[in-house]
Amino acid sequence: MSNERQFITRAAPVRQTNTGSKVGVAVRELPFVQHAILAGWGFIHGQRVRKACAEDMPLKVRCMVLQAVDGARIALVTVDLHGGSRYLTETVAAFDEVARLGISVDRLFLFGTHNHSGPGGLYGSVYDTLTASTAVLGAVPLMPDGKLALNTGLATRIAELIRDCIVEAGTQRLVDAKLGFACGHLPDTENRSSAAFLNNFENADDARRSMARHLGVAVDSLPEDAVRMAVDPRVWTLAAVTAGGEVIGTFSTVNCHNTVLSRDHDVQSPDFFGHAADRLERAGNGVCLIAAGSIGDTDPLLKGDLDERRAERAAARDGKARLDQNLKLICAHADAVANAVTSVLATARSNASPLAALEVRYSEEPIAGQRIDDYVMPLKPCFGESTLAGSELGRGPPLFVEGIRSVFDDGDPHSPKHMADSAIAAVLLGAANDRLQRLHTFMPLRLATLRTEANEMTRIVSLPGECTTWLSARLERAVKGSASRVLVTSVTGDYLGYLTTAREYAVQNYEGSSTIWGRHTGRWLQRRLEEMAFTGAAPRLRPTAEFFTDVEDEWETAFNSAKDRGVWRRRDDHAHQVPTGSVDVREIGQYCDGRPGNAEPNPTQRCEAAK
């Protein structure tokens, strides 16, 4: 294994002569990888995948290409993975087929759904090795002699599928269309870090007033437990429709962790975002994209008393929980999301208007040592020990203590992040933070501004980490200007842990410890996005993207060997077949390729049976 400096050459976009307000959509299935380790559950608790979660519910990539009247385009792409990795984004943008559509890396919005039950090894960064488990079978994660690597074979195949999806959406499926917007509401979510949320305000009354002002409602209309729940229930939906009003596809943001399925089930699943998208598509709404909004501190809950909901969620996450119970929870939350979108589709269709203009701003400016007001960003990023301890979504082993505060000086921008007490934690954090210095030097930020002929302006902000509810609210206000709405999305274009406010950071354990650029990260994001929204022209893109990544040659060797020996399997025209038998993860696994027009079994068979 070697730690290499890699460059990906960015393809130059081709100016489009095709004009008019148009939209195209497409969908592909992702590979099913046997014996992969699940991304997002940590290096100890990530289980090796042995089967699909309901064989008729594969992971998918969904794409919506938007074209304005003057031919300017962007690609909105959701992928049922833990995050939209920078490595995948840059690899897709480097394809000439994508560049010929006028889509460069700044115009490619790769949204991860933050699904924790898909394969890891796709980031090409240390965060994947720390929390999304790319260890080769039998290796000890993060130890100096452990075999940790970017799974280049799998990453390349997924990048090719994303490319094919974009090309299909941007060519044969691109049709005249209008865009409409509406806002639904998702019930039954909870802020899992509400004490930190409340630390943003002077008191609970101030919190209620601020929440009401942000959501655009009267204080008296907030539920009694609004401050205790501390969530953003809005589900913004963009609907693309034909001149006749037929829905081509939808793009929605959901402010909730896409994590219902327990970490202890060794299945590959798109969780409830994927099930919700499938429900919407079966209802005749074209291709339906669901992206992660402000998810950093928000979890799903079921109906009922708050304490009962928490107990049921905890039981579902217990290792002894039955898979069918988790599937019931997935179905319930998928129904809630689908209902939130469906309830406002008529409104979105009625206000639809051609896309008159489309502007994009992109930032890849360095962070280290940058000054914001009276604050200076740290010179190096780092994790704290609580990152290893695990969050409320999934606790780590007891040797990693969560809740211990700082060994940094008060003036240090990483304070009060806590470093390692135990020898094991010191080894793991030392290895991680050593690699982190080279791997993450900036945060890729994207800001798209859509203007319709009805003079409606919408902004889409993409962030490369898990943004908390109140930081999302601040960023929304910072860039709104005269826009009618701002959609803030998380885990897009890269995965850099958590993004939080300074006052939240001061009392958070897991989220703050996983905010690798320290307590001023929120301020830096706000200033940078304000500059992108209101000053200057779009900067010139650099000709290459640079990576320092762990590369294991045997990944690629095994991938090619498996492909030559026919390990890759394809879906036939009538049924989804997952071949039996174990395949070593280094052989990439078995692949089921989805193509538009295939006859598919009912994706709710397993869920309905579990009810």
How many CA atoms lie less than 13 Å away from 59 in the CB half-sphere? Answer: 28
Letter string b/e over residues 57-81, b meaning 16 or more CB atoms within 10 A of that residue's CB: bbbbbbbbbbbbbeebbbbbbbbbb
Distance CA 282, CA 277 (A): 9
* Nearest Cα residue to 296 out of 21, 503, 515: 515
Distance CA 143, CA 302 (A): 40
* Nearest Cα residue to 148 out of 48, 8, 2: 2
* Nearest Cα residue to 458 out of 282, 202, 251: 251
DSSP-based three-state secondary structure for 360: strand
Please report which helix (H) or strand (E) contains residue 349, including its range. Answer: helix 323-350
**Residue found by looking up tokens 């501390």 in the block:** 230
- Angle between helices 204-215 and 469-480 in degrees, nearest 10: 50
- Those residues whose C-beta lies under 8 Å from the C-beta of residue 107, and which sit 6 or more positions away, are 13, 73, 74, 75, 360
- Beta-strand ranges (E) seen in 337-474 are 355-363, 371-372, 375-376, 390-391, 394-395, 445-452, 457-462, 466-467
C-alpha distances in Å from residue 80, one per residue of 243, 270, 387, 389 = 31, 6, 23, 25
CB atoms within 10 A of CB 566: 7
Distance CA 197, CA 422 (A): 30
Known binding residue 554? Answer is: no
Known binding residue 466? Answer is: yes
How deeply is 482 buried, as exposed, middle or buried, from its count of CB atoms within 10 A (0-12, 13-18, 19+)?
A: exposed
> Could you tell me if 23 and 248 are in contact, meaning their C-beta atoms sit under 8 angstroms apart?
yes
Q: Residues forming the annotated binding site?
A: 466, 498
Q: Residues forming the annotated binding site for Zn(2+)?
A: 466, 498
